[in-house]
Amino acid sequence: MAWKIANKEAKRAVARAKAEGINEMYEKVETSEGQKIIYNIAKRRDRATKDLTHIKQIKDRNGRVLSRGECIRARWKYHFEKLLNKENPRRIREEGNPRVRAVPDITREEVKRALDKMKNGKAVGPDGIPVELWKCLGGEGVDTL
C-alpha cells in the first residue's frame, strides 16, 4: 500500500516538473533569443530527416581530397560524363535455327485450375470481364475460355 502512495507522489512530482519546464519554454519563446533557439532546433530536426547530407569532400582521380565547391562539382561532372557516355561492348549473336514444333493446346483442366487460383474483387483484364463472372459460369465459362 505504501508503494502506491509513493508512486502517486512520484507521478505528481514528474507532472509538476514537466509543467514548469513547459511554462519556462513558453516564456523563452516569447523573447527574440528564444525564437532563435526554436528556429535552430527546427533546422536541426529538418536536417536529421534528410537522407543525403551535403558532401563537403571528395577525392579526385589521383586520390587527392577536394574540398572547394567548384572542384567537387567539376569532379562529379567528369564522373557522370565518363559513366554515362561509355560504350559497352556488344555481343554479336549468331543466327540460329528456330525450333519448329507443335505447341500443345491449353487443356480444360489448366483453364479450370487458373480460374480457381484467381482472386475475386481484382481489376478486370483487357476484355473487361471480371473473374467473378467467369467463375459463376462454371463449366460453360471454362469451355468458352
| 75 and 67 Cβ atoms separated by less than 8 Å | no
pLDDT in tens, 117-132: 988 888 888 888 888 8
Task: State which amino acid sits at residue 97.
Answer: N
pLDDT in tens, 68-115: 888 888 999 998 888 888 777 778 777 777 777 788 888 889 988 988
Q: What is the pLDDT of residue 47?
A: 80
Residue, of 17 and 31, whose pLDDT is higher = 17
pLDDT in tens, 30-72: 888 888 888 888 898 888 887 766 667 888 889 899 888 888 8
Contacts of 108 (CB under 8 A, 6+ apart): 142, 143
Confidence label for 13 from pLDDT (cuts 50, 70 and 90): very high
CA distance 107 to 145: 10
Domain boundary assignment for the chain: 1-51, 54-86, 108-144
Local structure of 102: helix, strand or coil: coil
**pTM over the 0.75 mark:** no
Residue, of 3 and 93, whose pLDDT is higher = 3
